[in-house]
Amino acid sequence: MVKKRDPIRERTDGRRALLVYLDVNLVKELKKAALDDDRNVYEVVEEAAQGWLANRSVVQQKK
C-alpha cells in the first residue's frame, strides 16, 4: 500500500515553499548579503523577485 504524504505544513505568514536550483556562488553571496543585513535569505530573494516582477510589468506595458 502506498503511504500518503504528510499534509503540507502551513506557515503562519502564508508563505509556501518553492524549490529552485541556483548557482553555488550565487547561493553563497545571497547568504552573506542576508547575514550582513541581518535578514533571512528568503526575505532577500522575495524582495528581488518582487522587484523583478514589477520591472517586468513596466516593460510589458511599454510594448
**Matching residue, cell 535569505:** 41
**In-domain check, residue 43:** yes
Between CA 60 and CA 57 the distance in angstroms is 5
- Is 4 among the domain residues? no
Whether 1 is in a domain gets the answer no
Whether the CB-CB separation of 45 and 34 falls below 8 Å is answered with no
Domain assignment present for 37 = yes
Residue 5 lies in a domain: no
Q: Where would I find the H helices in the chain?
A: 24-36, 41-62
The grid cell for 7 is 499534509
DSSP three-state, residue 17: coil
**pTM for this model (two decimals):** 0.74
Count of domains for the chain: 1
pLDDT in tens, 7-48: 667 889 999 999 999 999 999 999 999 999 999 999 999 999
For residue 3, is it within any domain? no
40, part of any domain: yes
Checking if the pLDDT of 5 tops 60, the result is: no
Domain residue limits at 43: 24-62
